């Protein structure tokens, strides 16, 4: 049975929504504005703010509600993936970032255009638009899980309200509003996470000591799994290798993250922002996993059984039903903060890619005022697209894993192309394009695979999504390079 938020909690949520929208609107800029200012905030953002913004963009509602669910049903094995995230950031600092700061670039895909040509430039930019829109649709829907549990409203109504408020300050304030609202929102949801841990510990007889003892006896704090299996999602090898390649793709080729890195004052500050974000993300995921372990102990000791259709809803149910007055509202606001920061980042990056990679090359002689006005219209258009996709994406399962697996299907091919462009001189545009198609098609097959495939002596297991980017990147790079060599020998 649905139990609505208490009046005090509801007031806190409403005040947050009004307050964050007002805060974002303060970054409106009067007078003529360039698209460099609109999309890159004049490259005048301090590294620490970019670092927190990266973490906020990486932390969607999926993360806050799904990661505790993963620990509730499993253990801390997810941290193996986060270790790969840290390694991937180091590789990006060494390979990709120097290329991005050589010229006046505004999107990641301009690098591909300079190295290979227009066709591959547009192909990678188009894949980003498809991938980001599809993944973001799932993420926006995740908001409905939280709002639906808290307010009892329908999915569509909650999605529409949140989308319109986020659109308002993103439309007006551009990248500067996105980054600084991200900083504020991250502080809010981290504070909410710490308060949640306190609340769970206070509900357990014996407090933190009992929580640790019971969770340890249930092996909840187990991190490492060294099984050699492509079918298991959270193993050491899938985490370190798969997580490294996933981060290389998500933070090195995805405009949503690259745009933030390009907003830094210089290469040194961009590197500092990316590396610092890795440290923060590790601490943050550890906190989310602790919440899941705490919920496991709480429900085991109280003898209660949360009646929810999936583990994703356990934490939202606890927030609404068990947390003290005021704290419950704070946590709902914190989860909405993560959702809004992620949505604003997606809108800005989708608009920048549409504008810089597709519209501007076909339209010359536009004034800065015209470019900015059209950029805003593209932000509005993408808001409508994401709204529709969020409504269409309502389905079961761990929403975090669904979102990451959707992105991973195309990330592999994208990363393979970027590696061809940065690590080799012999790769050609046609070779890279063929490799990109091969990598994406293979990953699409792996994503659609429901059970192991047996063909004579060959047996293909159901591959875990954590391997998609690695496999797609290797196939794209290998086929792209070999085909390029073949074409050169013919010439």
Span 166-178, pLDDT tens digits: 888 888 888 888 8
Q: Which residues of 127-136 are buried (b: 16+ CB within 10 A; e: fewer)?
A: bbbebbbbbb
Q: Among residues of the chain, what percentage have pLDDT more than 70?
A: 88
Report the alpha-carbon distance of residue 70 to residue 279 in Å, rounded. Answer: 21
* Torsion (CA) 463, 464, 465, 466 in degrees, nearest 10: -120
Report the alpha-carbon distance of residue 476 to residue 65 in Å, rounded. Answer: 34
469 in any annotated domain: no
122 in any annotated domain: yes
Report the alpha-carbon distance of residue 210 to residue 297 in Å, rounded. Answer: 8
Quote the pTM value.
0.87
Q: How many domains does the chain have?
A: 1
Whether the per-residue pLDDT at 146 is higher than 90: the answer is no
Q: What is the CA radius of gyration of the chain?
A: 22
State the average pLDDT over residues 7-28. Answer: 84
The CATH number of the domain where 167 resides is what? Answer: 1.20.1730.10
Report the 10 Å Cβ neighbour count for 216. Answer: 13
333 in any annotated domain: yes
- Domain ranges, residue 339: 7-394
270 in any annotated domain: yes
Report the alpha-carbon distance of residue 394 to residue 310 in Å, rounded. Answer: 13
Report the alpha-carbon distance of residue 194 to residue 338 in Å, rounded. Answer: 15
Q: What is the pLDDT of residues 72-115, one digit of tens each?
A: 988 999 999 999 999 999 999 999 999 998 877 888 899 999 99
Cα end-to-end span (Å), the chain: 71
Angle subtended at Cα 337 by Cα 331 and Cα 338, rounded to the nearest 5 degrees: 100
Tokens describing residue 256: 């949503």
489 in any annotated domain: no
Report the 10 Å Cβ neighbour count for 424. Answer: 17
- For residues 406 and 39, the model is more confident at 39
* Torsion (CA) 30, 256, 389, 344 in degrees, nearest 10: -40
Q: What is the pLDDT of residues 347-397, one digit of tens each?
A: 889 999 999 999 988 887 888 888 888 999 999 999 888 888 777 766 544
Question: DSSP character for 5?
Answer: P
433 in any annotated domain: no
Tokens describing residue 296: 């496991």
Q: What is the pLDDT of residues 429-486, one digit of tens each?
A: 999 999 999 999 998 888 877 676 665 565 667 888 889 899 999 999 999 999 998 7
Tokens describing residue 22: 């007002």
63 in any annotated domain: yes
215 in any annotated domain: yes
Report the alpha-carbon distance of residue 206 to residue 80 in Å, rounded. Answer: 30
Residue 395: phi and psi, rounded to 5, are -155, 175
> CA distances (Å), 9 to each of 14, 24, 145, 186, in order?
9, 23, 17, 20
Q: Which residues of 13-41 are buried (b: 16+ CB within 10 A; e: fewer)?
A: beebbeebbebbeebebeeebbbbbbbbb
Report the alpha-carbon distance of residue 125 to residue 99 in Å, rounded. Answer: 17
Report the alpha-carbon distance of residue 51 to residue 57 in Å, rounded. Answer: 10
Whether the per-residue pLDDT at 488 is higher than 60: the answer is no
State the average pLDDT over residues 423-434. Answer: 92
Q: Among residues of the chain, what percentage have pLDDT more than 90?
A: 38
């Amino acid at each position: 049975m649905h139990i609505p938020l208490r009046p005090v909690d509801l007031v806190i949520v409403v005040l947050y929504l009004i307050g964050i929208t007002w805060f974002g609107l303060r970054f409106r800029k009067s007078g003529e504005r360039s698209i460099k200012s609109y999309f890159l905030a004049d490259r005048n953002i301090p590294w620490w703010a970019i670092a927190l913004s990266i973490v906020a963009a990486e932390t969607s509602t999926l993360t806050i509600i799904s990661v505790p669910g993963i620990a509730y049903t499993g253990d801390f094995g997810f941290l193996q993936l986060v270790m790969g995230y840290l390694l991937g950031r180091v590789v990006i600092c060494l390979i990709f970032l120097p290329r991005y700061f050589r010229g006046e670039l505004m999107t990641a895909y301009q690098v591909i255009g300079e190295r290979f040509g227009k066709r591959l430039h547009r192909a990678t930019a188009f894949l980003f638009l498809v991938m980001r829109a599809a993944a973001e649709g799932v993420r926006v829907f995740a908001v409905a899980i939280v709002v639906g549990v808290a307010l009892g409203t329908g999915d569509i109504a909650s999605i529409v309200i949140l989308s319109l408020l986020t659109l308002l300050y993103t439309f007006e304030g551009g990248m500067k509003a996105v980054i600084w609202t991200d900083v504020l929102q991250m502080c809010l949801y981290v504070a909410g996470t710490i308060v949640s841990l306190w609340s769970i510990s206070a509900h357990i007889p014996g407090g933190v000591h009992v929580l640790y003892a019971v969770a340890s006896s249930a092996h909840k704090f187990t991190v490492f799994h060294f099984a050699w299996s492509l079918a298991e999602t959270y193993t050491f090898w899938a985490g370190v290798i798969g997580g490294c390649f996933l981060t290389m793709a998500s933070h090195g080729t995805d405009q949503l993250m690259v745009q933030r890195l390009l907003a830094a004052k210089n290469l040194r500050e961009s590197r500092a922002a990316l590396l610092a974000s890795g440290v923060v993300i590790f601490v943050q995921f550890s906190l989310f996993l602790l919440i899941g372990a705490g919920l496991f102990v709480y429900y085991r000791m109280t003898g209660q059984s949360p009646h929810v259709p999936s583990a994703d809803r356990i934490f939202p149910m606890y927030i609404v039903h068990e947390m003290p007055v005021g704290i419950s509202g704070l946590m709902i606001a914190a989860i909405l903060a993560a959702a809004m920061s992620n949505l604003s980042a997606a809108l800005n990056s989708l608009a920048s890619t549409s504008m810089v990679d597709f519209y501007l090359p076909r339209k010359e002689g536009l004034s800065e005022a015209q470019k900015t006005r059209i950029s805003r219209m593209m932000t509005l258009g993408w808001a409508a697209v994401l709204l529709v996709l969020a409504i269409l994406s309502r389905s079961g399962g761990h929403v975090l894993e669904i979102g990451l697996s959707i992105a991973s299907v195309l990330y592999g091919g994208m990363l393979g192309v970027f590696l061809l462009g940065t690590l080799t001189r012999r790769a050609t545009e046609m070779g890279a394009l063929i490799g990109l198609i091969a990598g994406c098609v293979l990953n699409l097959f792996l994503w659609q695979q429901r059970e192991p495939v047996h063909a004579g002596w060959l047996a293909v297991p159901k591959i875990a999504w954590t391997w998609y980017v690695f496999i797609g990147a290797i196939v794209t790079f290998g086929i792209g390079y070999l085909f390029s060599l073949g074409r050169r020998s013919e010439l």
